Structure 1
Amino acid sequence: MVALAGIPMDAAAVMSTVLEGILYGFSVLMCLGTIWTFTYKRHIQDVNRPIAVVATLLFVLSTAHIVVDIIHLEHGLVKYRDTFPGGPVAFFADVTQVTFVIKNAIYTLQTLLGDGVVIYRCYVVWQSAWIIVIPCMMWCGVAASGVCSVYYFSQASMAEIENFFAAKIGHWVAAFLASTLATNMLSTGLLAYRIWTIERKVSAVCTTKRKVPILRVLIDAAVLYSAALGSSIICFGLWNDGLYVMGDLIVPIVSIAFYMVFIRVATSQSNQHYPSTAHRETTETERRKLQQHPLQPLIQRPNDSGFSLGDSSKVETHPLT
């Protein structure tokens, strides 16, 4: 990897770090919004712990990645500027650098966490372990290809560095990108189909429509993440070093995609009501179906374990954790 469309690798490194910093700033704001959303006017025992753990891990990994990225940039432009053979351009092209390997290890962990969250959401709405067998197998493929790519980064020879896209290391990177894109699209597709079916049932009972439908929120997040991965795959197919930049940008994008689902769903339910008393008798059949429906973690009243239509109180929609 020598240049990014005519731009030296040192300039590409600066570009990727600056852009990642901007996206990281957005992810921090959205992380704070997520924390506020699931803690506002709630007791500590009512806080959704899985969401808190995932949000914290995403924040920690994003922060660690940009810190290592800044250190990597400082090493190439300042510390080893005059001592590394070939100068900063050769330094940033060297994938065996410890900081570069650590960056990619963090990127792999962030990707595995993000894909795991989507698969878990899929399990929650389907309430069946069989439906996630294939996504889990694909997730294992993502993990294997990610670990192998990080390992080969650390062991790459000079010939492999100079012919990155044609070497074994490039093939592992391509396998990692393709497998995570396929895993995300399959899991999101299964999730979207299930939510579409339940949305049809819920719309027949609720008197007001959601301002931000759950399905649209999930699709928006999936499109954002898929667009970043698709751009990386295109760069690889064209043997373009834009892959270097996109690798840094995907890390905060994973966090943003998770936070946007939680925040937009959690803040769009304040105007939802159940049908009025005059229509209760005519919807008794729908009530029984919804009470028995396996999507209880998706739509439920606060402090209630099931879906009930016994009054006209507001409902709270939990973001598919």
Structure 2
Amino acid sequence: MVSQLSFEKVFIVSLWLESLMYGFLLCLFLASVYVNITLRRHQDGHSRIMFYIGIAMFLMASIHVSMNCYRLVEGYVTHRSDPGGPAAYLGALAPWHHVFKDTIYASQEIFGDAVAIYRTYVIWGRNWRAIILPAALLIVGLISGYSVCGLYPTEAAGRTVFDPRLQHWISTFYAVSFVQSFLTTGLMAFRIWQTDRRSKKYRADKGNLLPVMRILIESAALQLLVEFILLIMYAINLNAQFILLEIVTPIVGITFNAITIRIAFRSSESMSNFTRSSEANPSAHAIGEARSMPMRHIKININQETEAVADTESFSEAK
């Protein structure tokens, strides 16, 4: 039999770790505000939408950690002398505060999955076929996640999240969240790698898209790891799963902001390098000026490597 941590220890440790993750999220959110202000002239409508999404994720993470702070104070101070002590108060499923904070968690996961699907759609040249499976998984996650929250108020006192009535829905939601994160990250990384490989012959400089692929994978790695371990812990009925459950909400925001900020800084660095190159080499500046001139259609016959050129143009438009 697997050794269990007591609920008293689990709830304290989970809030401590969530507060730590929230601190990281706060730093990244402030960095995103700085990026949005200083790099505004380089941003388009898509970048501003991503910034507003980051604000929404930060607000949900703030509400979630605030609710857990409230619950901890109530459980260990106000209700410490009640039958069952803090564990009974914090472990109850039906009270409004538990339903509300888990609804925020489910919403953050679903929102994060939806944003990842949108990014996948853009990177794949707005090809809806690339997101059929992720979109189907999003619907499954939405149904299972909110079904759990809807069942909480009907649970009798003393029941836990390992109650058979909840296990099917919770297991489904955890599994879908992990598969969704893995799938969308893999689709984006594969498309970037594929486009970089096909466009290699046509690049005049040594720049490539592989650093963007590394940014996506490295930024999503923490969320993927946490979601995978959470699924395993819940499957073997470990109380310690609550520790990882509470930190998922800020981690979703961390993943989103990390990708946004790192790509924004990389784009800014590329622009700065081009500007310095233009100042040092007038011909490079002339090329930049030529790119800004109105273009007209010309007829070009290409006999080879047609697929590679098409893919490169599609990816450039997606960005």
1:150 alignment partner in structure 2: 149
Distance across 2 between alignment mates of 1:45 and 1:294 = 20
Structure (1/2) with the larger helix percentage:
2
2:313 alignment partner in structure 1: 293
2:58 alignment partner in structure 1: 59
Q: Decide whether the 8 Å contact of 2:148 with 2:166 is kept in 1.
A: yes
1:213 alignment partner in structure 2: 211
Give the aligned length. Answer: 289
- Deviation of residue 5 (structure 1)? 4.5
Q: Which range moved further: 287-296 or 252-261?
A: 287-296
2:294 alignment partner in structure 1: none
Distance across 2 between alignment mates of 1:5 and 1:90 = 20
Q: Decide whether the 8 Å contact of 2:192 with 2:210 is kept in 1.
A: no
Q: Which range moved further: 13-22 or 34-43?
A: 34-43
Closer/same/farther in 2, CA of residues 297 and 11 from structure 1, 3 Å limit: farther
Cα shift readout 1:251-280 (whole Å, capped 9, x = no counterpart)? 1110111111111122124146599979x9
Structure 1: 5+ residue runs without aligned partners?
Answer: 300-321
Distance across 2 between alignment mates of 1:200 and 1:105 = 43
Distance across 1 between alignment mates of 2:3 and 2:37 = 47
Distance across 1 between alignment mates of 2:90 and 2:313 = 54
Distance across 2 between alignment mates of 1:298 and 1:262 = 15
1:314 alignment partner in structure 2: none
Structure 2: 5+ residue runs without aligned partners?
Answer: 288-300
Closer/same/farther in 2, CA of residues 291 and 233 from structure 1, 3 Å limit: closer
Distance across 2 between alignment mates of 1:20 and 1:219 = 23
Distance across 2 between alignment mates of 1:216 and 1:113 = 23
TM-score norm. by structure 1 comes to 0.81
Q: Decide whether the 8 Å contact of 2:5 with 2:239 is kept in 1.
A: no
Question: Which of 1 and 2 has higher RCO (CA within 8 Å, sep 6+)?
Answer: 2
2:295 alignment partner in structure 1: none
- Deviation of residue 64 (structure 1)? 0.5
Distance across 2 between alignment mates of 1:141 and 1:211 = 33
TM-score norm. by structure 2 comes to 0.81
Distance across 1 between alignment mates of 2:221 and 2:166 = 28
Distance across 2 between alignment mates of 1:71 and 1:77 = 10
Letter aligned with residue 217 of structure 1: I
- Deviation of residue 42 (structure 1)? 2.5
From 105, 108, 117, the counterpart of 1:107: 105
Letter aligned with residue 172 of structure 1: W
From 162, 165, 179, the counterpart of 1:165: 162
Q: Decide whether the 8 Å contact of 2:4 with 2:239 is kept in 1.
A: no
Cα shift readout 1:205-240 (whole Å, capped 9, x = no counterpart)? 152446971111111123211111111111112210
Larger Rg: 2
Q: Is residue 222 of structure 1 aligned with residue 220 of structure 2?
A: yes
CA RMSD of superposed structures (Å)? 3.0
User: Could you say what secondary structure the match of 2:266 adopts?
Assistant: coil
Closer/same/farther in 2, CA of residues 188 and 236 from structure 1, 3 Å limit: same
Distance across 2 between alignment mates of 1:85 and 1:52 = 47
Distance across 2 between alignment mates of 1:218 and 1:8 = 37
Distance across 1 between alignment mates of 2:216 and 2:227 = 17
Distance across 1 between alignment mates of 2:31 and 2:57 = 14
